[in-house]
Amino acid sequence: MPSRRNLIASLAAGVGLAATLRPGRTLAQTAGTSEGQKMWGGRFSEKPGAIMQEINVSIDVDRRFWKQDLRASRAHAAMLAKQKIITGEDAARIDAGLATIEGEITAGTFPFRREFEDIHLNVEARLGELIGPSAGRLHTARSRNDQVATDFRLWVRDALDEMQAKVRDLQLALVHRADQHTATLMPGFTHMQPAQPVTLGHHLMAYVEMFGRDVSRMADARRRMNECPLGSAALAGTSFPIDRTMTAQALGFDRPTANSLDGVADRDFALEALAAATLCSGHLSRLAEEMVIWTNPQFGFITFSDSYSTGSSIMPQKRNPDAAELVRAKAGPISGDFIALNTVMKGLPLAYDKDMQEDKPPVFNAFDNLDLAVRAMTGMVLDFKANPARMAAVAASGFATATDLADWLVQTLNIPFREAHHIAGAAVKLAESKGLDLPELSLKQLKSLHPGITADVYRVLTAEASAASRTSYGGTAPAQVHQQIARWKGLLKAG
């Protein structure tokens, strides 16, 4: 059994407990390799330990933005050549080598190696193998700090662009289905209790508005993040005569970041993207929850085809809305990803800290989940089949036109609304005691509540009349729903 001192020394060197206890296992056999260290290890004489190698490596994660890394490197090399910091010949070799690497990664033949820690060192190492010493000039006037900040901004910007397009597809699907159901009655709820009749088209258009705000937030986040950190170097800028505006423009940024410390330290852009993703996932979850409720046979408002339903391994009758439930669940990890990154960043001093290596997993995970949830919801919106008869029957029940009775009393008899509200409440109480709904009360029974009530009141006590009467801007009246559908068709067509 090794002594406590030897055990602690072995663990510090990167040897696991099991390896320490096994005879014949040497430090050399368990320590990490040093290939990646060649890129930065001039000051070091010993190899990193195995544990250090394992916790330090990020290539398994950050390989996802290889396209952004190559794009930024090519822009940087072109700028270095223009500024005569490197020769045109070296820049041409670098560009050709990076093009070869792009081809290798696309073809799946690029040798991603964990000993080179991250995507940046993997690319630089392979570039050296392809073009020789010229590869070493690419890193002139930049650091991995501004390199990763630039790559990550490019990736998030691309992700936001793609997500906006997919959310717009979802909006188009909702508008399409709303257009089919502008006059399809359904119950509106507050406190999950029957409130007033609405139309299915109106209900679906509410989500079009929500997702429109999500797209707007993503667009705002994109505008705010569209500054280029490249050229910030490690934290203080560089003494080389670089042209940061040139690289910013080449990469589609509006301008370079104005402060080199902020350029490498900032991850607001990732947090803001995650915040937008979190809000969007919440809207998806709300719609998914309603779909779960609506498909319950006790509601029976909609059904999904077999494409978006599953069964039970023990109960043959079951038809489960699992796709909706899984979309509902995605809101949890997505909002958790925002909290995770915010917690990583909350106490970090300027400028770059290795903690920030943990910035990418939550962002990648959140956008992967959001992408799947948006596409699944788009499919469900296009797939569901409504049951208008059942929805209309429920819309007309539960004294849903009590407010219409109160409004009629105000408009026809000039009764103050509070008094009318009291009379309508008494009508509900009377109907409930008789086992009737409001339209089933006799005129004599209604007159017992107020002698001025006439037979004209019955025209406002149907669910159809109730929905049709809500003609205020943004209301549920079919004419208003048509107006909002036309507006959104124009907005979505214009992108």
User: Which residues 6+ apart lie within 8 Å of 397 measured at CB?
Assistant: 187, 194, 437
pLDDT at residue 24 is higher than 50: no
Res 56: pLDDT: 79
> Does the pLDDT value for residue 312 go beyond 50?
yes
pLDDT for 20 beyond 50: no
Checking if the pLDDT of 16 tops 60, the result is no
* Mean pLDDT of the 129-151 span: 97
| Between residues 385 and 41, the one the model is more confident about | 385
421 belongs to the catalytic site: no
Q: Count of CB atoms within 10 A of residue 390's CB? A: 16
pLDDT of residue 143: 97
Neighbouring residues of 185: CB distance < 8 A, sequence distance ≥ 6: 197, 198, 199, 200, 388, 391, 392, 395, 396, 463, 464, 467
Calculate the average pLDDT of the chain: 92
Rounded Cα distance between 115 and 113, Å, is 5
Distance CA 467, CA 63 (A): 55
Which run of H or of E encompasses 190? strand 185-190
pLDDT at 66 over 50: yes
Our answer to whether residue 312 is catalytic in this structure is yes
pLDDT at 49: 77
- pLDDT confidence band for 368 (50 / 70 / 90): very high
Among 216, 305, 312, 442, the active-site one is: 312
Asked whether residue 326 carries a pLDDT value surpassing 80, the answer given is yes
Position 372 pLDDT exceeds 60: yes
Band the pLDDT of 128: cuts 50, 70, 90: very high
Mean pLDDT, residues 436-447: 95
List the catalytic residue out of 191, 239, 433, 472. Answer: 191
Is residue 30 pLDDT above 50, yes or no?
A: no
User: 151 versus 20: which is more confidently predicted?
Assistant: 151
pLDDT of residue 32: 40
pLDDT at 125 over 60: yes
Average pLDDT over residues 201-223: 98
Please check whether residue 252 is in contact with residue 158, taking contact to mean a CB–CB distance below 8 angstroms: no
What tokens appear for 14 in the block? 């990167």
